[in-house]
Chains A and B, each alone.
Chain A
Amino acid sequence: MKALFSNKQSIFFLLFLALLSCQHAEQKTDLDYKLLELDYAEGFKVYQGIGFKVLEVLQAFPGKHQPFRYLVMEQQGEIPKGKFDAIIQLPVKKVILTSTTQIPHLEYLGESSTLIGFPNLDLISSEKVRKMIHLGKVKDLGKGAQTNVEMVIDLAPDWIMISTLGEDLRNLDLFQKSGIPAPLNGEYLEGHPLGRAEWIKFTGALLGRWEEAHQAFEAIKNAYEEAEALAKKNDQTHKPKIMSGVMYKDIWYVPGADSWGAKLIQAAGGDYGFKDHPGTGSIQLSYEYVFEKAQDADFWIGAADHNSLEEMGKADPRYTYFQAFQKGQVYTYTKKKGIKGGVEYFELGYLRPDLILKDLIKIMYPDILPDYTPYFYSRLNEK
């Protein structure tokens, strides 16, 4: 084997390589971090450094944007170089949340007592947090559609977690100027139900509860995958036909085929009546079309917050022409409410897709889970 290069050449070559790698390292800010693998979530990444974590939020709101990077210092020490949107020093004692879906994270991580503010407290159903509200430990940030920035600054939390559609980003500058870290939570953009649940690790990292978050998610993931396997094993030659949504005037709003809700229906072994309509959010269809497509559906799952078939028929007589309605197979997830009327599904649903999946399996194939009682869903007019 003849050497390709002379010694001299190879030394140059190695030098050149070394230079290249130096440059590369400089670009990566001389940080030495390793990526911590996530199972389902695609909207954020977690890197572990020595004594710190870096959270990268790739998808915080719809549309294209630069990733947001947050540094969580797990020990006192030198701040690593690099550009960060916020730097959080553990331990964290006081936090503000802005979406009910983030409330269960605190509970599962044993950190409920850190919550000091939330907009529109009535929406919260978690009993632990309700107790704290009762004791006056959580401040109501108002019911308005926008975050009350002044109150947040006044409360001076260690961080405020924000869910946004991208409309109030200028608040981020205000929080940054006042030194309040404002990590963006983009869980609602995750395609897979378990992807949304995995965002508990995001909250976990921000609270210094990474291990607990990991364990909590493992349990949820295993329960979900188990249930899904059960549904798959089942004879699915005749899948029940599922319809969903309600009408506002004469426009029918149904979850798109790629939405979280539709995915759960399909995972449970249901034949979603509107599977030809892609979309991750809700889609609008005309009454006629829905009627033609779903008149003979076996189950109507997710019918807003009607309390009874009678009330539904009163609200719009055109509901009564559906077979699922006539057979009393209409299910809603709004029955379980907190003391102040907050719907628990909107709070715990993102974190516990396993429960929703089991609920749906129980509705469609009652024999698979004989001893299971649905957690969120209830049948209208169930005696």
Chain B
Amino acid sequence: MKNKPIYITFLLGLIICLLLFILNLSIGSVHIPFPDIASRITGKPFLKASWETILMEFRLPKAITAILAGINLSISGLQMQTFFRNPLAGPYVLGISSGAGLGVAIMVMASTAFGWVIYFGQLGVWSIIISASLGAILVLLLISFTAWRVRDSMTLLIVGLMFGSAVSAIVAVLSYFSGAEQLKLFTVWSMGSLGISSYTQLLGLLIASLLGLLPALFLLKSYNAMLLGEAYAESMGINIKRLRWGIILSTGILAGSTTAICGPIAFIGIAVPHMARLIFKSGDHRILLPGSAIAGAIIMLFCDAISQLPGSAQTLPINAVTSLIGAPMVIWLILRRNFSKEF
């Protein structure tokens, strides 16, 4: 009885997600009428050949990327909030995205210094995913060690900010000495973008997402216990060590691979889990995890739709849109209610 509304909410979420997905396919700089899109979905060819390319090779992978990025960032944010028992934790805030950025910066810009040839091509996708994930996991480890030593959420945030700054400084030094072309590549990357160049890249992101989700799914039950503290979780017979490593791996791969492909995307990781808590009015991770996933996908699709500036030749960087939407949302959440209630 009690669970019924939840199913309805999920169903609604899925329907909204699907609608936004189709909307995303139909808007962009080039106007493709909605009826044409609809008839294309039913298998009729387009009137113009260029539309086919734009839809299949550009908009479709972009929309799928938006969904994946939304899911990954939200779930890594949710895990971090649970793990650190801190409502303000998130991959962007705690410098995980910067860590991934450092990994990419070293790949892209140090290639000037070491004479490596790297491009965001078919083969480049794994090297960039792995280097970003490693960077993310490195920062996560540092932060985790701090978190286990200092059991204070404020300190943790400050330390996270410091790590973020330190990493940005290293990136700045790298930028200062790198060639114009590399610099441009990295700068454009850091603005965030969901435009993915090929299905190979998309497949890379998809595989990485599944890899990152696995530990989270296995540890689902333990998360609920974690909210009441590690000591409590241990008394429930949960292997804390395994849980820690599981969370670090999962968060690192999810945030790292997404950052690698899309660039740093702000606020999704921190804001979406709170939205899910609000919508589902539950602290149970068995509900929150899929809930955050759907909410994340919806928000990302929505932000992407805005960033397309339908009908104009220009687009906005996705990071600007997520920040403009996400930052007020977090502030509103903080003001709205006793934020730390569940932590």
Q: A residues near B, CB below 8 A?
A: 143-145, 247-251, 277, 284-289, 291-292, 295, 304-305, 311, 314-318, 321
Contact = CB atoms under 8 A, between A and B. Distances in A.
A304 B50 contact: no
A315 B121 contact: yes
A-B interface, 7 closest residue pairs, ranked by CB to CB distance from nearest? A250-B195, A289-B29, A249-B193, A248-B188, A289-B313, A286-B29, A314-B121
Contact of B30 (A143, A144, A292): A292
B29 A144 contact: no
B177 A321 contact: no
B181 A288 contact: no
Contact of A250 (B62, B121, B176, B185): B62
B119 interface: yes
B122 interface: yes
Most A C-beta atoms less than 10 A away, residue of B59, B181, B188, B313? B313
Nearest to B308: A286
B313 A316 contact: no
Contacts of B184: 248
7 contacts: A248-B185, A249-B195, A285-B313, A288-B54, A291-B58, A295-B53, A314-B123
Contacts of A144: 176-177
A318 B58 contact: yes
Contacts of B176: 144-145
Interface string B194-214: 111110000000000000000
B120 interface: yes
B197 A316 contact: yes
Contacts of B313: 277, 285-286, 289
B57 interface: yes
A370 B308 CA distance: 46
A288 B58 CA distance: 8
Nearest to B123: A314
Most B C-beta atoms less than 10 A away, residue of A284, A285, A289? A289
Nearest to B28: A288
Interface residues of B, number: 33
B126 interface: no
A210 B73 CA distance: 63
A248 B176 CA distance: 20
Nearest to B50: A295
Contacts of A284: 314-315
Contacts of B29: 285-286, 288-289, 292
Contacts of A321: 53, 57
B267 interface: no
B271 to A, nearest CB: 24
Contacts of A314: 119, 121-123
Nearest to A305: B181
B92 interface: no
A247 B121 CA distance: 12
B189 interface: yes
Contacts of A291: 30, 50, 53-54, 58
A304 B196 CA distance: 19
A309 B230 CA distance: 57
A91 to B, nearest CB: 35
Nearest to A296: B50
Interface in B100-129: 119-123
A100 B61 CA distance: 41
A292 B57 CA distance: 13
Contacts of B195: 249-251, 287
Nearest to A304: B181
A288 B315 CA distance: 10
Contacts of A295: 50, 53
Contacts of A288: 28-30, 54, 58-59
Nearest to A295: B50
Contacts of A317: 57, 122, 197-198
Interface in B38-65: 50, 53-54, 57-59, 62
Contact of A315 (B54, B57, B119): B119
A285 B314 contact: yes
Nearest to A276: B313
A277 B314 CA distance: 11
B119 A286 contact: no
A317 B120 CA distance: 11
